[in-house]
Amino acid sequence: MVEENPFIDCPTHGRERATLVCQHIAESLTSRECVGFWWSRDDDSEFPDAWCAICHERHEAAGLEWEGEALGQLGAKLLCATCYVEARALCLGE
């Protein structure tokens, strides 16, 4: 969860709340293709850290830990809250 710096300056949306997603979700904003959108059901925050279907498979293979290949291929990226909602909507149709 992003806590140290809760805001970022998005080149598209300006100053917004910061969120954390895998590199593949961040890239989906350019490709406009759904790559999956997973998050921990234990995280009840408004914008829980999120990852794609491929990262989800790696996470499960690592025993639901972010270590080894799961962590190495995650490539975590900061998105503003509006970009996060847009990426989520690509897969969840919001």
Per-residue pLDDT reduced to its tens digit, 51-82: 999 999 999 999 998 999 889 899 999 999 99
Domain membership of residue 79 (yes or no) is: yes
Task: Give the N- to C-terminal CA distance of the chain in Å, as an integer.
Answer: 22
What's the predicted TM-score (pTM) here?
0.88
Domain membership of residue 1 (yes or no) is: no
Q: Using an 8 Å Cβ cutoff, are 74 and 66 in contact?
A: yes
2 against 39, higher pLDDT: 39
Domain membership of residue 42 (yes or no) is: yes
Which residues lie below 8 Å from residue 48, measured CB to CB, with a gap of 6+? 1, 39, 40
Tell me: the pLDDT tens digits for 7-20?
A: 999 999 999 999 99
Encoded amino acid at 64, one letter: L
Number of domains in the chain: 1
| Res. 1: pLDDT tops 70 | no
Structural domain boundaries enclosing 71: 7-92
Q: Using an 8 Å Cβ cutoff, are 87 and 26 in contact?
A: yes
Domain membership of residue 35 (yes or no) is: yes
Domain membership of residue 62 (yes or no) is: yes
